[in-house]
Structure 1
Amino acid sequence: MTRVLGVDACKAGWVGVLLDNGQVSAYVASTMELLIQHSGPAEVIGIDIPIGLPDTAARQADLLARSAIGRLSSSVFTTPVRAALLAPSHADAVVINRELTGQGISIQAYGLRGKLFEVDEWCRRSDSLVVEIHPEVSFAQLAGAPLTVRKSTWAGAERRRALLAGVGITLTGELGLANQAVGVDDVLDAGAVAWSALRVAQGLAVSLPDPPEVFADGWPAAIWV
């Protein structure tokens, strides 16, 4: 029996799509801890957020993911180094990241540091296997080629919904998400992450890079698909 969870960040905190032997359900919580309490244990938990923060250079996982999705490569941001994310301000983070990598850091990336460190701390306590998954890489794998239409459009959302339905992940109806601050794209992304998490559980997934990089934090840094 295989039970996996795909997780994506959303305005409410986190949204998870649970695959439980053919059954699909969704959960929302303000923290990862609460999300797992609501959804229950899973063999593999996939999360659309960087796991394994670099020390002095760009992660190979980010570079390879961009290559895998082509036109929509801007959806993969370059993960800042840990020291930059620990900086007290965005301006300080830019200076630190540029000194160590030669690149600055966007205010959006710096703004994610709360969720990055939440996952960084939580996944070390998890009893499940926790892996990083990027939904656009998963959708490209599902489609057999990189997608060219963004999920923020009607056609893009419907294309992704159809790809997921084709592998038994039917995201229709309320899914238990009534009155929750969760966007259509958040749920689609969590569904794609759940699909790749299932591949990990079944031993079918591959990692970008292979083998994963390991930084000073000791976490294997790779995007799985």
Structure 2
Amino acid sequence: MTRVLGVDACKAGWVGVLRTATGVTAFVAPTIDLLVKQFDPLDVVAIDMPIGLPDTAPRQADLLARAAIGRLSSSVFTTPVRAALQAPTHSEAVLINRELTGQGLSIQAYGLRAKLFEVDEWIGRATTRVVEVHPEVSFAYLAGAPLTVRKSTWAGAERRRALLAAAGISLAGELGLAGLAVGVDDVLDAGAAAWSALRVAQGEAVSLPNPPEVFADGRPAAIWV
């Protein structure tokens, strides 16, 4: 029985959508390690978080993801270089990132550093295959074309929920998430990640780029869909 997990960050920590042959369930945990342990054993974990931090230039994965989703490309942020994320302040990070890549660094991207490094450390000891995804890329592939309505709108959320349901990821009911700090967009994104994880497990997925890039950290850097 194939068991895959899609993961997205949320205010409470991390939300995961588990997809098995018998259905879909969800869970929230404060750390990625605790989340994955709730569902072991797993065939694939797909996470909406950069894997493979660049050294001196933008990742091809980010550039290709923007091209794949078109109008909503602003949802893909350029992954900072590792040295910039290690800087103790945002201002220092901006200087380092600009020196190495020619680009600045938003406060939002710098604010993800704790979760980025949490995932980076966890992958080093994970026993399950872990891949990076971007939900809007997954939704574009599900729909056969880039979506044009944001998931923060009612129509956008319903469109994405319908796409997932048609693909066997039914996000109906409370899913055990009542009372938790998990947004609609978080659950939709974790569901999209679960769909891509299933494609990886079944050998149907493609990577952007193909083959993945590899930086100094040795992690294959690609978005899978």
The interval holding the TM-score normalised by the smaller chain is over 0.9
Instruction: State the partner residue of 1:25.
Output: 25
Instruction: State the partner residue of 1:68.
Output: 68
Instruction: State the partner residue of 1:34.
Output: 34
Instruction: State the partner residue of 1:78.
Output: 78
CA distance in 2, matches of 1:38, 1:203: 25
Given residue 2 of structure 1, which amino acid in structure 2 is its aligned partner?
T
How many equivalent pairs are there? 225
Unaligned runs of 5+ in 1: none
CA distance in 2, matches of 1:37, 1:93: 33
Instruction: State the partner residue of 2:189.
Output: 189
Instruction: State the partner residue of 2:57.
Output: 57
CA distance in 2, matches of 1:156, 1:41: 33
CA distance in 1, matches of 2:123, 2:62: 20
Q: Residue 50 of structure 1 aligns to a residue in which SS?
A: coil
**Cα RMSD after superposing both structures:** 0.6
Instruction: State the partner residue of 1:111.
Output: 111
Tell me the alpha carbon deviations over residues 124-164 of structure 1, each in whole angstroms, 9 at most, x when there is no partner: 11110000000000000000000000000000000000000
Q: Residue 96 of structure 1 aligns to a residue in which SS?
A: helix
2:213 corresponds to 1:213? yes
CA distance in 2, matches of 1:124, 1:45: 14
- Asked if the contact 1:22–1:168 (Cα under 8 Å) also holds between the matched residues in 2, the reply is no
CA distance in 2, matches of 1:68, 1:22: 32
Identity among equivalent positions (%) equals 79
Find runs of 4+ consecutive structure 1 residues off by over 3 angstroms: none
**Structure 1-normalised TM-score?**
0.99
- Asked if the contact 1:9–1:48 (Cα under 8 Å) also holds between the matched residues in 2, the reply is yes
**Structure 2-normalised TM-score?**
0.99
Q: Say which is worse superposed, 35-44 or 76-85, in terms of deviation.
A: 35-44
Instruction: State the partner residue of 2:141.
Output: 141
Given residue 156 of structure 1, which amino acid in structure 2 is its aligned partner?
G
Q: Residue 131 of structure 2 aligns to a residue in which SS?
A: strand
Q: CA deviation at 1:38?
A: 1.8
Instruction: State the partner residue of 2:99.
Output: 99
Q: CA deviation at 1:39?
A: 2.4
2:62 corresponds to 1:90? no
Q: Residue 18 of structure 2 aligns to a residue in which SS?
A: strand
Instruction: State the partner residue of 2:121.
Output: 121
Unaligned runs of 5+ in 2: none
Q: CA deviation at 1:20?
A: 1.1
